[in-house]
Amino acid sequence: MNYHADFEQLLAEIAQLKGQNIPPTAKEAAQETIIDQLTAMVQSSRQQIDELIASNLELARLSYTDGLTALYNHRFMMERCHAEFNRAKRYNSGLSCVLIDIDNFKLLNDAHGHPFGDFVLRKLGALLKKTARSSDICGRYGGEEFIILIPLPLKQAMDFAHRLHTIIAEHLFSDGQNSARITVSIGLADYRCDMQNWSELISRADQVLYIAKNSGRNLVRVWTGRNIEPEEIIDNGSVNQLKKQFTDIYQQAKSSYVESANALLNAIDAKDHYTFRHSQNVARYATVLARALGLRKQEIEIVRNAALLHDLGKIGIDERLLVKKGSLSRAEYEIMKKHPVIAVNIIKNISLLAREIPLILHHHERYDGLGYPHGLKANGIPLGAKILAIADAFDAMTTSRRFRAKMTRSQALRQIAAEKGHQFDPQLVEVFLLCMTSPPKEDALEEPPSILSPAEPGLQLGAGL
């Protein structure tokens, strides 16, 4: 509406009324009409002004609020840190910065999906807000990191950080479908008079957070001025010797974990005698395929370990479902589909098996995107998981079960070929068929020839295991 033109028209009508000889009653009626129109215009203008003010306030709120957690965003927190730093410096008052990082957040996303990961971020943000005092300033620093500015000296901030650390560890994050507990690493630094600018406060908190993450996670670390030690000079020979020793220790520890997991598989085998032998067979077929694809020795070892552990989650499945002779109902099948996630939850805190976890989690994904647990498709599925999918299916088809007679080797290979581009990666199927139909060699499991060069276009080995 053009309020300026309407107002000019009303003024013209008033002037016209003044120049005319109109009976009082008619003139008063016209004046009432004009007054009513002016009132309506004022009210409409006032409503539009109120709406404009509300919109501007909402835009201002959005400019400093994180869209996911509803905490202050990174930009606003940096501005507040600058202002709080100047206040602390001017009045020589206490100011502490707390940085919080969720441990193994990627594994949480892999195990439960990104929607649940977002749910955890929102709930953690609310938990931080609830635990902090009204004078504390909480914000999202970025990704799975949060920041809290506390106008208190170091001792009191340390008490808060340790209390917050415990509260988070004891909290169960549940959205009704998924449940998980998390741990966090915390870095804490306080204002000191030797600081030149506000960014040093955050930098020190970030440095000790890094130390907490690299010291095993789930820790609170405080800047003391002695956290960062000067680099020592070590001769290259000593460095190489140390690397070798640590590599040997790493491999021994990893082997111990796999052996422990095999003990769990034996426990599953007590329920269902198929599982343990099946895992060994899948490891054998997966190793042959991985070597034929030209994967490096370390990558082959990851595939083999993942194959041995891929059904570990069945320890959490009711024995009646594992040995049921007939077909599973839809509800029973949904329960059975949870075993990859259960397996990941069992081993997710074992850092030595971190690279095996995506393979275990996604070995039931399908190339066409119709698999589970996350419906990944094509190159979105880790290469190692696609290898396990073929090995798993082939052994399942060629093994007798209570509810199904086994196929012959030829029948199973035809079924694998029929699912090329649907259930399985087409290129991997071609290599697997060649492996299974070529005359076996005595050293096939030791040093099999590479059938497909890693550099061949289209395979995308670089996408990772």
Choose the catalytic residue: 8, 32, 144, 430: 144
SS3 (DSSP) at 12: helix
Dist. CA 230–CA 303, nearest whole Å: 40
**DSSP letter, residue 327:** P
> Facing residues of 359 across strands?
none
Q: With CA atoms as reference, report the closest residue to 287 among 87, 435, 437, 97.
A: 435
Residue 142 pairs in a beta bridge with: 145
**Taking the mean position of all CA atoms in its chain, how far away is CA 47?**
45
144 assigned to active site? yes
Amino acid symbol at 302: I
β-pair type (220-222, 184-190) = parallel
DSSP secondary structure of 233-266: P--HHHHHHHHHHHHHHHHHHHHHHHHHHHHHHH
**Which residue bears the tokens 């021994």?**
252
Contact 369, 376 (CB under 8 A): yes
Burial 109-148 (b: 16+ CB within 10 A, else e): bbbbbeebbebbbbbbbeebeeebeeebbbbbbeebbbbb
For the annotated catalytic residues, the residue numbers are 144
